[in-house]
Amino acid sequence: MPTTHAPTADRLDRAQRAVAEAGWQALLVSAGTDMRYLTGYNAHASERLTCLVVPAQGAPLLVVPVLEAPMVEAAGTTTALHAWSETDDPFAVVAAHLREIGAPGTVGIGNRMWAEHVRQLTSATEATWELAGPLMAQLRMRKDDAEAAALLRAGQAIDRVHARMAEWLLPGRNEREVGKDIAEAIVAEGHEHAEFIIVGSGPNAASPHHLLSDRVIGAGDMVVVDIGGVTEDGYCSDSTRTYLVGGQPTTEMLDFYAVLQAAQDAACLAVTPGVTAEAVDATAREIIAEAGYGPNFIHRTGHGIGLDVHEDPYIVSGNDLPLEPGMAFSVEPGIYFAGRFGARIEDIVICTADGVARLNVGTRDLVTLGS
């Protein structure tokens, strides 16, 4: 449900400057993390339009369904409101406001606005439309001190869940049962809700985005546990550890796991201002490839994190963005053997003025449980 944390006041100012610099007439964002970032209002996305209009000049306007206006006030949002009634046309309201701002120009539109809203907005106005994703990424990518502290609290909360894994991750239980316990612990340890839970056991450990299944965890299984939640202030956690359940690892498992651990560690330590996102990816990838597991590392090394679990910057080949202090992202290489087993290690890190801070600090060893 919507919560009540007004952001620092300068965010809308920065957004307006960015809109002006882009030569846009306005920026429109609908319910979601862009709106929460800019106003503190965590709107519920639905068929009823909630839309923040950020003009290059002049006062921003938040267009909301009248039945949700009390929640905007409860969130401490100071943006001017236009509360529309059930029989009003909110798209006409936005269009009229754009006409008041000036002649039809370019309007940036949030990447996550629902297509049904985009269709109605584009037919109600004369504007030229651009995706606002890159502009919003520029605003959100460098975390300020309060955001870094919020991400650290989220990281510590998910570390506490991993530290309790021996309570639940046992041979004879199925992934779904374990996942249910983890979901409760994610909330109990300091999140507002669990965002995702991956318990990939045995061959499922080789499927990086596996979630949960009825598979019963067997003795000697490697189990990838990749979990995250959202704290009350909206910031996300995301951490993966791989466990060996109910037995001892084989030599083959230990060998590839040691390579993975070295690669993840080296990639974390490579983070410093000026190093590119793709160089961090290459650091992990080269170590894994040199050991002969290159084809088994089938995804990018990481993703930015903040109010969204996945946001800019992406740690991937082709992204030559130089890292800057405040950029927060995951470092999560994996090695997977389809149909057999796999492993991943994931920490959230923040680029600092002179290097890197790791927000997840629990052991990255292959921990043996239940034997």
Stretch that binds Zn ion, among 56-64, 167-175, 245-253, 323-331 (CB under 5 A): 323-331
The only residue of 34, 147, 226, 312 in contact with Zn ion, by rule CB under 5 A: 226
Q: Which is nearer to Zn ion, 56 or 268 (CB)?
A: 268
Which of 248, 236, 247, 282 lies closest to 263, judged by CA? 282
φ/ψ region of 274 (left if φ > 0, alpha if ψ in -120 to 50, else beta) reads left
Count residues binding Zn ion (CB under 5 A): 5
Stretch that binds Zn ion, among 94-102, 103-111, 279-287, 328-336 (CB under 5 A): 328-336
CB of 136 to Zn ion, least distance (A): 20
Binding region for Zn ion (CB under 5 A) out of 183-191, 215-223, 311-319, 345-353: 345-353
E-strand ranges in 19-157 read 26-30, 51-55, 61-65, 80-84, 106-109, 128-131
β-partners of residue 244 are 222, 368
Q: State the minimum distance, in angstroms, from the CB of residue 170 to Zn ion.
A: 22
**Which CB, 113 or 309, lies closer to Zn ion?**
309
Beta bridge partners of 370: none
In the stretch 28-47, what mask flags binding to Zn ion with x, by CB under 5 A?
--------------------
CB 142 within 8 A of CB 327: yes
Q: 19 and 27 in contact (C-beta within 8 Å)?
A: yes
Q: How far is CA 319 from CA 99, 131, 269, in A?
A: 38, 19, 19
**360 lies in the site for Zn ion, by CB under 5 A:** no
Determine the interface stretch with Zn ion among 84-92, 97-105, 154-162, 339-347 (rule: CB under 5 A): 339-347
Q: Say if CB 240 and CB 225 are below 8 A apart.
A: yes
Residue 64 Cβ vs Zn ion, minimum distance, rounded to whole Å: 32
CA distance 117 to 119: 5
x/- site string to Zn ion, residues 234 to 253, per CB under 5 A? ----x-x-------------
Residue 330 within binding range of Zn ion, rule CB under 5 A: yes
Where on the chain is the footprint of Zn ion (CB under 5 A)? 226, 238, 240, 330, 346
